[in-house]
Amino acid sequence: MMNTMSSEDLTVAIAVPLDAEYVDGIRAAHPGVEVLYEPDLLPPERYPADHAGDPAFQRTPAQEERYWSMLRAADILYGFPNETPAGLAAIGDGNQRLRWVQAMAAGAGGAVKASGLNTTTLQRIKITTSAGVHALPLAEFAMLGILNGFKRTGELAADQQTKYWPQLRTPTRLVNGSRLVIAGLGEIGVETARLARALGMTVCGTKRSVEPLEGIDPVVGNSGLSELLASADAVVNTLPGTPDTDRLLGRKIFSAMKPGTVFVNVGRGTVVVEDALLEALDNGQVSYACLDVFAVEPLPAGSPLWEHPNVLVSPHTSALSAAENRLIAERFVDNLGIFLAGGELPHQVDPLLFY
């Protein structure tokens, strides 16, 4: 447990682009906390929740000094400096008073690991993710992928492009009554399960810490994933990228699926062996793949996934929504209250496992 702190003792610095109204909301919720916010030092957003901002933005030398002076004066940061691992490394080493950083990403562990900060520093600085904020848009995207696969929307779009009206009518598959396996029953996975059940699917899946979950049966560890696949009509991956999940979904997993399985990935691209997925697509083990994440991003132009007729490529944007800035700011307000009360901050990045 953390010691209770007086709000008057705390300074928060906004390190990434954020609407002024949400900054005002942080100040209104915790009026004793000093909130440092200089929008002219932050790059403009190109779209809602563009936390890195316009890459063409450049600070003058004087602005650069003001930016880092502001961050060095803070106990708490809203966002990584410049929204990069290098920025986190610089402030972690350069600000000994820093206690907590609220990350914008749901899966910030990879960026924290890439920063190279040592374990001692990461034990001093709590880093919390925005996990859960993105659960609903990701779950909706997962359902889009399942429906696309079951209803053959890729084939319909191809036929429309060539103005082809087939003589023989091809049936689609019913989602209702089908079986879904979710690899990773965290907040995203549980929300996906909720939507799937609303469409009449039965759901089972994996969880790192196995425990009963309402409406999901069975729940097993990742080692038991292959045993669930023989009866699955669709598989959704929501697993984060960790040493334990790296290349977890390889040839063994895809060969365990029954022919025609629909596969959706909204977790991390490093979990999937893409060559094995392509083999499964080519031999019919996987009938359709809806992919928002990839082992290398941006997806290289030479990747066969771009042109595969049974693949939908999404450029890692399925978590984005117009409400994201508001939702993360509201999460930060709640977390700041917990921090002031001396409670344990939720969704902390493990300094050893980076999860």
pLDDT tens, position by position, 269-289: 999 999 999 999 999 999 999
List pLDDT tens digits, range 278-334.
999 999 999 999 999 999 999 999 999 999 999 999 999 999 899 999 999 999 999
- Written as six digits, the tokens of 273 are 């062996």
List pLDDT tens digits, range 119-132.
999 999 999 999 88
Residue 110 lies in a domain: yes
Residue 355 lies in a domain: no
Instruction: Assign residue 240 the CATH number of its domain.
Output: 3.40.50.720
CA distance 275 to 296: 13
Whole-number pLDDT of residue 9: 85
The strands making up 100-102's β-sheet, listed across from edge to edge, are 34-36, 11-14, 76-78, 100-102, 126-128
Same structural domain for residues 229 and 307?
yes
Same structural domain for residues 139 and 282?
yes
Same structural domain for residues 143 and 222?
yes
pLDDT class of 355 with cuts at 50, 70, 90 = confident
Residue 346 lies in a domain: no
Same structural domain for residues 140 and 103?
no
Same structural domain for residues 101 and 143?
no
Whole-number pLDDT of residue 353: 86
- For residue 118, pLDDT over 80 is answered with yes
Residue 348 lies in a domain: no
For residues 2-17, give the mean pLDDT: 80
Percent of the chain scoring above 90 in pLDDT: 93
Q: Enumerate the active-site residues.
A: 268, 297, 316
- For residue 47, pLDDT over 80 is answered with yes
Q: Which of 6-10, 57-61, 219-223 has the lowest mean pLDDT?
A: 6-10
- For residue 1, pLDDT over 60 is answered with no
- Written as six digits, the tokens of 170 are 């091809």
Residue 67 lies in a domain: yes
List pLDDT tens digits, range 124-154.
999 999 988 999 999 999 999 999 999 999 9
Same structural domain for residues 185 and 326?
no
pLDDT class of 106 with cuts at 50, 70, 90 = confident
pLDDT class of 202 with cuts at 50, 70, 90 = very high
Residue 289 lies in a domain: yes
Residue 2 lies in a domain: no
Tokens 């990228």 locate to 241
Same structural domain for residues 212 and 231?
yes
pTM of the model: 0.85
Percent of the chain scoring above 70 in pLDDT: 98
For residues 248-262, give the mean pLDDT: 98
Same structural domain for residues 99 and 178?
no
Same structural domain for residues 279 and 141?
yes
Same structural domain for residues 194 and 246?
yes
Whole-number pLDDT of residue 7: 62
Same structural domain for residues 22 and 165?
no
CA distance 75 to 344: 17
3-state SS string for the chain: CCCCCCHHHCEEEECCCCCHHHHHHHHHHCCCCEEECCHHHCCCCCCCCCCCCCCCCCCCHHHHHHHHHHHHCCCEEECCHHHCHHHHHHHHHHCCCCCEEECCCCCCHHHHHHHCCCHHHHHHCEEECCCCCCHHHHHHHHHHHHHHHHHCHHHHHHHHHCCCCCCCCCCCCCCCCCEEEEECCCHHHHHHHHHHHHCCCEEEEECCCCCCECCEEEEECHHHHHHHHHHCCEEEECCCCCCCCCCCECHHHHHHCCCCEEEEECCCHHHECHHHHHHHHHHCCEEEEEECCCCCCCCCCCCHHHCCCCEEECCCCCCCCCCHHHHHHHHHHHHHHHHHCCCCCCCECCCCCCC
Domain residues for the domain of 152 are 135-313
Query: CA torsion, points 221, 140, 169, 311, in degrees to nearest 10?
Result: -70
Domain count, the chain: 2
Whole-number pLDDT of residue 2: 46
Same structural domain for residues 146 and 100?
no
